[in-house]
Structure 1
Amino acid sequence: MEALLKAAKYAVVTFLAVTIANIVGLEYEISAGIIAIFSLAETNRATIQYIERITLTMVLSLIIASVLFSFLGFHVWIFALYLLITYPITVQFNSHQAIAPCAVAVSHLLQEQSVSVDWMFNEFLLLVIGTGVAFLVNLYQPKRLDQIENYKEKVEEDMKAILTEFADYLLADDAVYEGSISLVSLQDHLREAITLVQTEGENRLTDNYFYYREYFDMREAQTRLLYEMDESLRELGATSPEYEALAEFLHHTSDKLHEKNTGIRLQEDLKKVEVAYQETPLPQSRAEFEERAVLYEVLLDCRKFVQLKKDFARRLRFMHVKRTLKND
């Protein structure tokens, strides 16, 4: 679908740019179509950035080429000299990606053996038409909110599965923990979701973009904690009565993972688990001490996990209040 849309855009911008240039009466009108093709990028922001670069490169190209042609004549080696001088300069301005269509414009001057104002104006109009058409056509971008929502659901399902795996292991007798099988899936879904959100953000700066960016940043931070918890659980031995409270909390967290959960209630539940552990008898052996230390690490990660959700909910409330005040 993406490839078909891009192919359609290439065809449309080429046809429109060449047609407009032809109607205006410009020479080398096909160059307007070539410029339009080069100016089409994956996102609106990238298109604007390319237009800025090609405009700067075109100005440099026409100035340098006109000086060289005027003093040294219209020769192919002068055209090569123009490239030798201009390209390093454009690299300094980070606009070298646009050198190809600008070199085509300079080749027109070489062919016509002229650097008159009329020919300069012709090349600038080709640039304006090509970039203008590309910008307008690229304003159409398919909305990806449905895809992002789908990834959001997948991420939450993966996290629920991971927390459930953690809890089930803590309650299982004689189980050997080999790591969560859902962590890789979670990482893949997060990476794809963040890429989509970034693309959406470069096409339209809306409240939806800011929400999803904050949401997936929060989930990404929580995922790092899940990896740490996964490593910690590998160090625990056979099941113990001390694991039950933590397992119950993880099950409860899995059930309450949805985006609307503020994290306040979970924080209160976690506090009860911490108090319960503080009231248990002190470890009597080195093995018990090490086990208690691992449990404490998992509890700390749980606390950070819940705090991330609580901070996210607070930022959402702030954004909502700010938007309400702005609308008033």
Structure 2
Amino acid sequence: MVKIGYRTVKTAIGVFVSIFLAQWLGLTFPTAAGILTILSIQITRKRSLKNAYARFLACLLGLVFGFLFFKLFGYHPWSLLLLTLCFVPFLVKCRVQEGFVSAFVIVLHLYTVKTFTLAFLVNEVSIMGIGIGTGLLMNLYMPNIERDLQTYQQKIEENFRTIMKELAVYLKNHESMWDGKEMLETSDLINQAKSLAIRNVENHLLRNTDRYYHYFQMREEQFKLLERVVPLISTLSYSVPQGEKIADFLEHLSENIHPGNTAHIFLDQLRKITEEIKKTELPKTREEFEIRATLFDFLREMERYLLIKHKFRP
């Protein structure tokens, strides 16, 4: 069964309302109101407001350009050519180029009636107001995407837990059946989640920031560190007692990955582990020395990982 999206429903209702109003008021070119409504439906409220401003201004400029060019050069196809060549750069200069299609609809109305009168001007401004206004009205409704953001948050945290546990398994057993799919998934999940969080910001007219966006940005920074430590751990040739101690720490950390901020607890634990390892007997072979050095590198990266979370304010 084909699912009908909320934007499709909003567009359909908006087209009906705008054309109905235009016909009820006896306006000429009532279907143009429907076209303007379709062009005005956006995915966020802030984009809708910006789009409405650009289209309305572009339409007014279109009326001015149409009046001047048709007055000077007459109502001919080549007049439209000259108008377009001059009009588009002007819209770009005014930073309202997204309103070109809407404006050209108005220009073509003038080209069709071949006369610029007060009645025509009132008709076109009314068409613009109904079409763009209805689009704005339809965009007042936006679905709540908090649940989707929470789902992304939970999935990313679940992947972080898996990665931590698999690192612990490798440190203890020096082998793992893990296929690493969570590493591939997480990067895509974070990018998708950040895009959705930006939409959430743009759906709130008085909000310029979003706690979910900052959360996913924090996880992105942490994930970049995980991408570095996974190959680092895979270079270890065999298990050592110090590695098992770090593995226990990772298991404990994996059980406490959540939106809250308890990083300070694990930073203290990590520093104690680091001090304990420093006090152990020095390596006796080159291989042991290299493993010990890799573990210290890993601990430094994990400290950075925890500091990123420690600075985060949910």
Fold shared by both chains (TM-score > 0.5): yes
Check 1:2–1:259 CA distance in 2 against 1; reply closer, same or farther (3 A cut): farther
Check 1:7–1:176 CA distance in 2 against 1; reply closer, same or farther (3 A cut): closer
| Alignment check: 8 A CA contact 1:178 1:234 kept | no
Check 1:47–1:23 CA distance in 2 against 1; reply closer, same or farther (3 A cut): same
* In structure 1, distance between residues paired with 2:4 and 2:293: 53
Residue of structure 2 equivalent to 1:18: 19
* In structure 1, distance between residues paired with 2:199 and 2:64: 36
> What displacement does 1:251 show?
0.7
Tell which deviates more after alignment, 58-67 or 180-189: 180-189
Q: Which amino acid aligns with 2:249?
A: F
Residue of structure 1 equivalent to 2:266: 266
Residue of structure 2 equivalent to 1:325: none
Check 1:112–1:207 CA distance in 2 against 1; reply closer, same or farther (3 A cut): closer
* In structure 1, distance between residues paired with 2:205 and 2:235: 45
> What displacement does 1:206 show?
7.8
Q: Which amino acid aligns with 1:292?
A: R
User: What's the CA shift string for 1:125-166, capped at 9, x where partnerless?
Assistant: 211111111011111111111121112111111100100000
Check 1:97–1:205 CA distance in 2 against 1; reply closer, same or farther (3 A cut): closer
> What displacement does 1:208 show?
12
| Alignment check: 8 A CA contact 1:200 1:209 kept | no
Q: Which amino acid aligns with 1:309?
A: K
Q: Summarize the alignment of residues 171-320 of structure 1 with structure 2, pairs less than 5 Å apart.
A: 171-173=172-174, 175=175, 180-204=180-204, 210-312=210-312, 315-316=313-314
Residue of structure 2 equivalent to 1:140: 141
| Alignment check: 8 A CA contact 1:17 1:33 kept | yes
| Alignment check: 8 A CA contact 2:169 2:247 kept | yes
| Alignment check: 8 A CA contact 2:61 2:103 kept | no
* In structure 2, distance between residues paired with 1:205 and 1:2: 29
> What displacement does 1:178 show?
7.7
* In structure 1, distance between residues paired with 2:4 and 2:164: 38
Structure-1-length-normalised TM-score: 0.89
User: What's the CA shift string for 1:218-244, capped at 9, x where partnerless?
Assistant: 111111111111121122211111201
Q: Summarize the alignment of residues 87-126 of structure 1 with structure 2, pairs less than 5 Å apart.
A: 87-126=88-127
Tell which deviates more after alignment, 3-12 or 38-47: 3-12
Structure-2-length-normalised TM-score: 0.92
Gaps of 5+ in 2: none
* SS state at 1:182 partner: helix
> What displacement does 1:172 show?
0.3
* In structure 1, distance between residues paired with 2:274 and 2:94: 57
* In structure 2, distance between residues paired with 1:133 and 1:87: 26
* In structure 2, distance between residues paired with 1:170 and 1:204: 46
Question: Percentage identity across aligned positions?
Answer: 28
* In structure 1, distance between residues paired with 2:259 and 2:68: 63
Residue of structure 1 equivalent to 2:62: 61
Cα RMSD of the aligned pairs, angstroms, is 2.2
User: What's the CA shift string for 1:226-267, capped at 9, x where partnerless?
Assistant: 111112112221111120121111111101112224212111
> What displacement does 1:11 show?
1.0
User: What's the CA shift string for 1:152-190, capped at 9, x where partnerless?
Assistant: 1111111001000000100004x2798733211222322
**Count of residues paired in the alignment:** 313
Q: Which amino acid aligns with 1:258?
A: H
| Alignment check: 8 A CA contact 1:35 1:130 kept | yes
Check 1:302–1:207 CA distance in 2 against 1; reply closer, same or farther (3 A cut): farther
* In structure 2, distance between residues paired with 1:87 and 1:219: 43
